Amino acid sequence: MVMNGEIYIVDDSPDQHFLLYQILKQLPESYSVKFFEDGKILHRHLGTLSIQEQHDKFPKLIILDLHMPGMSGLQLLKLIKKPAVESHEHLKDIPVVVMSSDTREDRIIKCYQEGADAYIIKPMEFDKVKSTMQSICRFWLGREVQPAE
């Protein structure tokens, strides 16, 4: 099975991890997926890859929830898109899609100001989540993804 890129999903909900994993494994294209339940853990991981100059191991896409304990998604977004450390400059090239249930316009605008590549309102129904994930993968990973039967 050929992998077409790695996706990092940052969300503190185990239910969301399970749901997205089930959806992604049904797609006709294969993606390696890593889940992070905490923004600090992901930031440390990306920082290690940066310091070791393993930029080829960066994910092709990060899907990020906003509301998490510890480091919020917005704080993580700032660290990725506006790195304070020179060795972390390559991080800003990783597409980051914010996927949140937060519909407040000021929050959405703030995410774009901080460098989000897209902001998607988290759908609640399985079929809508599946279709949303297919669209995200098709657009951000440059693959033609056909709906799974």
Closest CA to 6 of 65, 77, 57: 57
Residue 27 CA to residue 56 CA, distance in Å, equals: 24
Tens of pLDDT, residues 64-92 = 999 888 889 999 999 999 888 777 788 88
What is the rounded CA–CA span in Å between residue 107 and residue 112?
9
Task: Look up residue 147 and give its DSSP letter.
Answer: P
- Where are the domains positioned within the chain? 5-140
Average pLDDT taken over every residue of the chain: 84
d(CA 95, CA 101): 20
- Across 136-141, average pLDDT: 82
* Pairing outcome for strands 118-121 and 3-10: unpaired
Residue 146 has pLDDT above 50, yes or no: no
Query: Tell me: domain 5-140, CATH 3.40.50.2300, correct?
Result: yes
